[in-house]
């Protein structure tokens, strides 16, 4: 497949898990109606962003894979003939939970999963309380629309993750995301954060000669116990293999983007900018160190 019509669903989320999933499915249907063969959903699209607090009660939101949400989304994938990248709170076993992306093939089957590898622990992003780091590695998932290099949110800051997916033959990099700012932060700081976020993923596109797809959530989500919360900044986007912006969603509204991604351009760009050829793999041993003291 040379040109892949890709849908990106950006949505607000509430405490109502069923309503969130219904909104995701509505977005998938809208994208499919516009010809999308691949549809990407945002991080944890079925739940509120519960990681603002450390509360054991939120583990009740988790579910197995396969499980209820993946079954429902698989049925939608089969009905519409689309590949879906979903993001779920996975219950692997009692006391063992992951932030997991599941890829549903166009026939409804599970093509594969990716468990988030890099787990943040910052104010309002207390993910280490909930999520065990992934143990599958950085392996692209083979589908009828290509080899999907699926990563999740905090992974997007790490060039190593993008590079390993590229080295394993990914046709594109995909980042379901949940990122925003505290409304109390100064406007100039908010803009710096969003610019850094976008620049980082565009850099992964350039360094690896691959298109990048990012689906971010939008809207304000209140803190469960305090008069505060997070404003998710939306801005979902798709870029080409030179980091060129193909489409970007608004910051503060729900939307469904459909973008044609030319997968042939990666070959042309890599011939012109042969970064993989020129890597000094004989000199990179120290990358496995935490820091050079």
Domain residue extents for the chain: 3-288
What is the chain's mean pLDDT, rounded? 97
**Model-level pTM?**
0.97
Helix/strand/coil for 239: strand
| Cα 171 from Cα 152, distance rounded (Å) | 17
pLDDT tens digits for range 114-147: 999 999 999 999 999 999 999 999 999 999 999 9
| Cα 190 from Cα 134, distance rounded (Å) | 30
Question: What torsion do the CA atoms of 192, 197, 200, 204 make, to the nearest 10 degrees?
Answer: -160
For the question of residue 128 being annotated catalytic, the response is no
Query: pLDDT confidence of 226, banded at 50, 70, 90?
Result: confident
For the question of residue 43 being annotated catalytic, the response is yes
What is the pLDDT, as a whole number, of residue 212? 98
What percentage of the chain has pLDDT greater than the value 90? Answer: 97
Which whole number is the average pLDDT over 21-25?
Answer: 98
Could you say which of 153, 214, 221, 231 is catalytic? Answer: 153
Residue closest to 26 by CA, chosen among 43, 7, 44: 7
| Cα 83 from Cα 77, distance rounded (Å) | 6
What percentage of the chain has pLDDT greater than the value 70? Answer: 100
Query: pLDDT confidence of 5, banded at 50, 70, 90?
Result: very high
| Cα 150 from Cα 190, distance rounded (Å) | 27
What is the pLDDT, as a whole number, of residue 227? 84
Sheet holding 212-216, edge to edge: 141-143, 146-150, 172-177, 212-216, 237-239, 245-248
Q: Is pLDDT of 9 > 70?
A: yes
Helix/strand/coil for 168: coil
Which whole number is the average pLDDT over 157-167?
Answer: 98
Query: pLDDT confidence of 1, banded at 50, 70, 90?
Result: low
Could you say which of 13, 51, 90, 116 is catalytic? Answer: 116
| Cα 59 from Cα 91, distance rounded (Å) | 8
For the question of residue 17 being annotated catalytic, the response is no
Could you say which of 13, 43, 214, 221 is catalytic? Answer: 43
Q: Residue 26: how many CB atoms within 10 A of its CB?
A: 14
| Cα 289 from Cα 293, distance rounded (Å) | 10
**What homologous superfamily is domain 3-288 in, according to CATH?**
Carbon-nitrogen hydrolase (3.60.110.10)
Which whole number is the average pLDDT over 208-233?
Answer: 95
């Amino acid at each position: 497949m040379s040109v892949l019509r890709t849908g990106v669903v950006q949505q607000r989320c509430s405490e109502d898990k069923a309503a969130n999933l219904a909104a995701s499915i509505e977005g998938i249907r809208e994208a499919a109606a516009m010809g999308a063969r691949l549809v990407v959903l945002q991080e944890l699209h079925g739940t509120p962003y519960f990681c603002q607090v450390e509360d054991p009660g939120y583990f009740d939101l988790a579910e197995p894979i396969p499980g209820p949400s993946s079954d429902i989304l698989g049925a939608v994938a089969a009905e519409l003939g689309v590949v879906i990248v979903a993001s779920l709170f996975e219950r692997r076993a009692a006391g063992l939970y992951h932030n997991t992306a599941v890829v549903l093939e166009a026939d409804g089957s599970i093509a594969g999963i990716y468990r988030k590898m890099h787990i943040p622990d910052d104010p309002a992003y207390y993910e280490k309380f909930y999520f065990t780091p992934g143990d599958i590695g950085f392996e692209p998932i083979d589908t009828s629309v290509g080899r999907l290099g699926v990563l999740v949110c905090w992974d997007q800051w790490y060039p190593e993750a993008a590079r390993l997916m590229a080295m394993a033959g990914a046709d594109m990099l995909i980042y379901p995301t949940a990122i925003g700012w505290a409304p109390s932060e100064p406007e100039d700081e908010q803009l710096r954060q969003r610019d850094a976020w976008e620049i980082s993923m565009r850099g992964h596109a350039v360094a690896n000669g691959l298109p990048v797809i990012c689906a971010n959530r939008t809207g304000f989500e209140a803190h469960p116990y305090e008069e505060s919360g997070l404003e998710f900044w939306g801005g979902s986007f798709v870029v080409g293999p030179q980091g060129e912006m193909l489409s970007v969603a608004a910051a503060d509204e729900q939307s469904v983007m459909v973008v044609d991604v030319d997968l042939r351009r990666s070959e042309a760009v890599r011939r012109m900018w042969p970064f993989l050829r020129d890597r000094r793999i004989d000199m990179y041993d120290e990358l496995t160190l935490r820091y050079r003291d």
